Structure 1
Amino acid sequence: MSAFAVLALAALAPVAFPSPIPQHANPNPNPISFPVNSASQGHDLHWAQQEAARAKRRYSSESGSERLQKRRHGHGSRHIRQPRGIASLKAWGDSYSIRAEIGTPPQQLDLYVDTGSTDLWVIGSCDDNSECGNTATFDSSASSTYTPTDQLFAMNYIDGGRTTGVWGGDVVRIGGQAVNTYFGISKHTTNWGTAQSGLLGLATRAGSSKRVEPWWEAASREWDDGQFGLYLGRPGVEGSVTFGGVDESLYDGGLTYYAHTAMEGWEAGWNIATGGVAVNGRRLSSTVRMAVLDCGSTGIVGPKAEVDAFYAALNTEVIDLKDGSYAFECSASLGINASFTFGDYGGTRLGALPEQHFYLRNADLAIVRGSGEDFAATGGYDALRGRPGTWCFGAVSSWESTTEAADAWILGDSFLKNVYSAYRVEPRGVGLAPLKSSAGGEGWEGVPSAADGVSSG
């Protein structure tokens, strides 16, 4: 697919600041955050292990006493509206960044995008060059429209990293949208080490550590079409976020919308019901579960019994690595034909929707590949030592715990790169459609080598 150009639109007139930051305590002591890896580092097996564990740890602090609620979903309108603005996305292999302009005069900063968290934050100053010496920072003193607060900002990472600072307010422009909003300004970061300057959360207000209205929700008050569309390009292919509409040139057919559904404590995310994974068009479970669409997670995480069934259906040797991860022999070009299913499950519909399969490219089912010795030496997986052939570290992993999260699917980039997704404000839901084309081949040759950039961690 050709690179997608940014649509140049005049900035909207800034709206008034939202109400002051609430003073009540954060109801979630372990907020969802977005630990990132350096874009300049190779995707070695150590990195793959961290990625496989990250989504599980990202959601393991979420709790809920209710099982998945069955909700209604249905087709969305095909009425064509003019998008309010489009911003390009840059692929970094394990994450995606967007360009923001903050303050007056505007300071340009690249931010990671994340549908799995809410808060917007930027690095305000760097106190350790090894952490952020190559990172552009936001200088609040250089902005004539900056509004300080006395509220502390803090975000914890699952790898032990942390960012701390203060909350401030200013105009933030992204994709032709200009909104006065509050955001975190980090004064100290650990375990960052990237050239990106912060994060743009695209989940809802319920997930904010201070219940601050997220940037995109404030912008949506000016949209004619109350949704944003997401296309995750592959390395070398520019992706996009369309604010206030969707880009119909990127997908086949129409979007099918599925209603938001969530267990208690999961209300902030973009969650819909799924029939789970299928191989060659056959569902591997009859259970309907919650699926969290999260572009801040690299792979896919699911219930152990269903993940075990997925790997058992592959026509190749599979090794359970006993930490929620799996390796499979991938010397041959396996015709896996994997998909995730959505549709008319036991009265969860608005209209009669047939079961729909959204297929994954084979190479998206692996994070890294290498020899058995690579896996043993780099990742400590002695079960693969001395085994012949080429092995792939699976992008589909299983929960290790028995928490509420273990009943859900986390559908990260391995799934989202294969679909166009739309996130609708009212009625809240997610629209999905297959992309017109997928960049790259179907084999394993495009999967990074486990031996490249070997880490000793």
Structure 2
Amino acid sequence: MVPFSSLSPLALLVSLSANVVYAAPRSSPLSLSMTLSRRAPEARSPDEIGSWAQAHKANVETKYGNPSSKAKRSSGQNLIVNQKADSSFFGSVAIGTPPVAYDVILDTGSADLWLASSTCTESACEGIATFDSSSSSSFQNKSTEFSITYGSGDAAGTLGEDIVQMAGFSVSNQVFGVCDQVSDGLLNSPVSGLLGLAFQTIASSGASPLWETLASSGAWDQPLMAFQLTRFNNDSKATDLEPGGTFTMGATNTSLYTGDIDYNDIPDNEESYWLQTVSSITSQGSAITISSGSSALAAIDTGTTLIGGPADAVAEIYSNIPNAEAGTGQLEGYYIYPCSTTVNVTMAFGGKSWAISNADFQAEQLNEDTCMGAFFSLTTGNNAPAWIVGDTFLKNVYSVFRYNPASVGFATLSAEALAMNGVNAAVPSATIGSAAATISATATAGTRDANGASIIQSLLSGPALSLLVIAMTIVFSSVCI
């Protein structure tokens, strides 16, 4: 998530609030895992859906600048939590000495880590875990102001530095925001903040993101992160929190995909957002006209629920859907269509074409007969990508974000991964895992270097995975910022 004040670094989390490696050979690579869960929303009225849709569009546009010596490497996996029927996904990190666990939104569309502070007296901070700097013996106050603005609100405070652990890895001096000012609606319990997973170039703090320090240091088996997200959209049996999938650091989980990973490089010298070029889109079997150059660039964003794009292309997508109409009022920029229609839409980013399921395209059911589509028209700033591709697409693929060479890859979900969709199960809570060693983040603003050793940790074996599970839970919340 990147602040509005930092337009060139496209880094705002789009918030959909729904009531809404080897340094040396090893005989057996070690993997660490965490479970994901999700919470199901109560049925909403058309007016409530309209308010949500309007806020979601505004949040995305604001986020993307609407002008109106190393130890042996390892890998770690976390089981994710899906909140409020695919609205958002969040995970957990442990911070400080002694370490305390916090739930944070996982956002590949921004690059800062921040938490609500224990000194926050605003209503947004009620009922969530807040960071108390006085309780950590390793915390250092940077005495530097920090602020970030999203379409759904603002967060402000100061920068600090402390030990941050995640998925069996630890960075000894991670810089993050400690915010005593948080707007209402910016955080939804149990989420305490946000973890940005994009590049340092768009970090409001100027600090190296946690993932980039680990990837650049050689701490991981492979310099990449991967996501598998579950689907509970329009599932009447879904509860507010359900199993959400898997987030992997330093490797891919071969049990969750089949075939090859189709990688496409990020444009040269564009390491900011995880950018891809939209090469083709089809709607009901017909090709959609896609502009060339910067107008075809898309940010692949786990922190955004739906898919936003240029008005003309979005209108063409719906023109192929019988009886589809442009929304009005709070649904301006969106489209409605008969729920009985099965919609077939595909997207490609220079390689293979990927289908978006009808279940994901049908973002909301407004009444018995009418549904709202997941593609909406979007206006971004001059330095922002024209397309923002969120979880509507990502739930249909195994997605990989590779540091070097900088690229994004997609693969076909395995039967094991698909079997997790719609399956109600216990939701893991934020927990703390011990770290065997730590990485020291030596990078300063504008650089991407780091030194140190990686850490390895194994705890429980995941029930649905042939992996070891780390006692930290990543949750993908239904909240987009």
Normalising by structure 1, what TM-score?
0.73
Cα pair distance change 1:405/1:50, threshold 3 Å: farther
Whole-angstrom CA distance in 2 between matches of 1:407 and 1:142: 41
Aligned to 2:92: 99
Cα pair distance change 1:31/1:48, threshold 3 Å: same
Alpha-carbon shift at residue 290 of structure 1 (Å)? 1.1
Cα pair distance change 1:425/1:295, threshold 3 Å: same
Whole-angstrom CA distance in 2 between matches of 1:29 and 1:261: 16
Cα pair distance change 1:413/1:165, threshold 3 Å: same
More moved, 127-136 vs 413-422: 127-136
Aligned to 2:355: 359
Aligned to 1:382: none
Aligned to 2:277: 273
SS in 2 for 1:125: coil
Alpha-carbon shift at residue 337 of structure 1 (Å)? 1.7
Where does 1:286-325 land on structure 2 (aligned, <5 Å)? 287-288=291-292, 289-321=296-328, 325=333
CA contact (8 A) 1:253 1:433 kept: yes
Aligned to 1:208: 203
1:338 aligns with 2:317: no
Q: Which amino acid aligns with 2:53?
A: A
Whole-angstrom CA distance in 2 between matches of 1:61 and 1:308: 19
Corresponding residue to 2:121 among 109, 118, 128: 128
Whole-angstrom CA distance in 1 between matches of 2:105 and 2:379: 28
CA contact (8 A) 1:229 1:245 kept: yes
Where does 1:14-25 land on structure 2 (aligned, <5 Å)? none
Alpha-carbon shift at residue 232 of structure 1 (Å)? 1.9
Whole-angstrom CA distance in 2 between matches of 1:207 and 1:35: 16
Aligned to 2:427: none
Corresponding residue to 1:194 among 164, 188, 205: 188
Aligned to 2:64: 59
Alpha-carbon shift at residue 280 of structure 1 (Å)? 4.3
Count of aligned positions: 366
Where does 1:72-91 land on structure 2 (aligned, <5 Å)? 84-91=75-82
1:284 aligns with 2:288: yes
CA contact (8 A) 1:52 1:299 kept: no
CA contact (8 A) 2:14 2:56 kept: no
Whole-angstrom CA distance in 2 between matches of 1:168 and 1:368: 40
1:248 aligns with 2:254: yes
Percent of pairs with identical residues: 30
SS in 2 for 1:230: strand
Alpha-carbon shift at residue 366 of structure 1 (Å)? 2.7
1:370 aligns with 2:361: no
Where does 1:352-431 land on structure 2 (aligned, <5 Å)? 355-371=351-367, 390-400=369-379, 404=382, 408-431=386-409
1:162 aligns with 2:150: no
Structure 1 unaligned regions, length at least 5? 1-25, 64-80, 344-354, 372-388, 442-457
Q: Which amino acid aligns with 1:395?
A: A
CA contact (8 A) 2:290 2:313 kept: no
Aligned to 2:337: 329
SS in 1 for 2:392: helix
Whole-angstrom CA distance in 2 between matches of 1:237 and 1:315: 35
Corresponding residue to 2:135 among 142, 163, 179: 142
Cα pair distance change 1:55/1:248, threshold 3 Å: same
Aligned to 2:165: 173
Cα pair distance change 1:193/1:226, threshold 3 Å: closer
SS in 2 for 1:51: helix
Corresponding residue to 1:434 among 409, 412, 421: 412
Q: Which amino acid aligns with 2:298?
A: A
Alpha-carbon shift at residue 408 of structure 1 (Å)? 2.1
Whole-angstrom CA distance in 1 between matches of 2:385 and 2:120: 41
Q: Which amino acid aligns with 1:84?
A: S
SS in 2 for 1:203: coil
Alpha-carbon shift at residue 304 of structure 1 (Å)? 1.5
Corresponding residue to 2:11 among 32, 36, 61: 32
Deviations 1:246-279 (A, max 9, x none): 11111121101100027x9x64100011223212
Higher relative contact order (CA 8 A, sep 6+): 2
Structure 2 unaligned regions, length at least 5? 21-40, 233-241, 423-481
SS in 2 for 1:368: strand
More moved, 417-426 vs 127-136: 127-136
SS in 2 for 1:253: strand
Q: Which amino acid aligns with 1:422?
A: V
Cα pair distance change 1:184/1:312, threshold 3 Å: same
Alpha-carbon shift at residue 228 of structure 1 (Å)? 0.8
SS in 2 for 1:57: helix
Whole-angstrom CA distance in 2 between matches of 1:175 and 1:225: 15
Whole-angstrom CA distance in 2 between matches of 1:308 and 1:32: 26
Q: Which amino acid aligns with 1:128?
A: T
Deviations 1:89-135 (A, max 9, x none): 21113211111111111101000010000001111225335211101
Alpha-carbon shift at residue 35 of structure 1 (Å)? 6.2
More moved, 143-152 vs 52-61: 52-61
Cα pair distance change 1:111/1:103, threshold 3 Å: same
Corresponding residue to 2:54 among 49, 61, 72: 49
CA contact (8 A) 1:96 1:113 kept: yes
Whole-angstrom CA distance in 1 between matches of 2:176 and 2:315: 42
Cα pair distance change 1:317/1:248, threshold 3 Å: same
Whole-angstrom CA distance in 1 between matches of 2:284 and 2:321: 10
Whole-angstrom CA distance in 1 between matches of 2:332 and 2:95: 41
CA contact (8 A) 1:325 1:394 kept: no
Question: What is the aligned-residue RMSD (CA, Å)?
Answer: 2.8
CA contact (8 A) 1:259 1:272 kept: yes
Alpha-carbon shift at residue 423 of structure 1 (Å)? 0.8
CA contact (8 A) 1:297 1:413 kept: yes
